[in-house]
C-alpha cells in the first residue's frame, strides 16, 4: 500500500461486473496480512464487516 494507510476511508470506484453492488461503497482500509500480495493491494472493510482485497486504482481516498 503506497497511497493508503490503515484507518483511511475510501470509496470503491471500480469493480468487476459481478461485484457492481460494491460501487460507491465507503470502506475503511485495514491491515493486509499473509504472503504473496503486491504493493498496490489494499485490504478494505465495509460497514457490514465484509473484508475485500482490491487494488489502489479501484479506490478513491475520501476525507472524513
- Strand arrangement of the beta sheet that strand 51-55 belongs to: 51-55, 41-45, 26-29, 9-12, 59-62
Query: Is the per-residue pLDDT at 64 higher than 70?
Result: no
Give the pLDDT confidence of 11-63 residue by residue, as tens digits: 999 999 999 999 999 999 999 888 888 889 999 999 999 999 999 999 999 98
CATH fold group of domain 9-62: SH3 type barrels. (2.30.30)
Distance CA 4, CA 23 (A): 19
Amino acid at each position: 500500500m503506497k497511497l493508503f494507510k490503515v484507518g483511511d476511508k475510501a470509496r470503491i470506484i471500480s469493480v468487476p461486473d459481478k461485484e457492481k453492488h460494491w460501487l460507491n461503497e465507503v470502506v475503511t482500509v485495514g491491515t493486509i496480512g499473509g504472503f504473496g500480495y503486491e504493493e498496490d493491494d489494499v485490504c478494505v472493510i465495509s460497514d457490514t464487516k465484509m473484508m475485500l482485497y482490491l487494488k489502489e486504482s479501484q479506490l478513491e481516498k475520501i476525507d472524513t
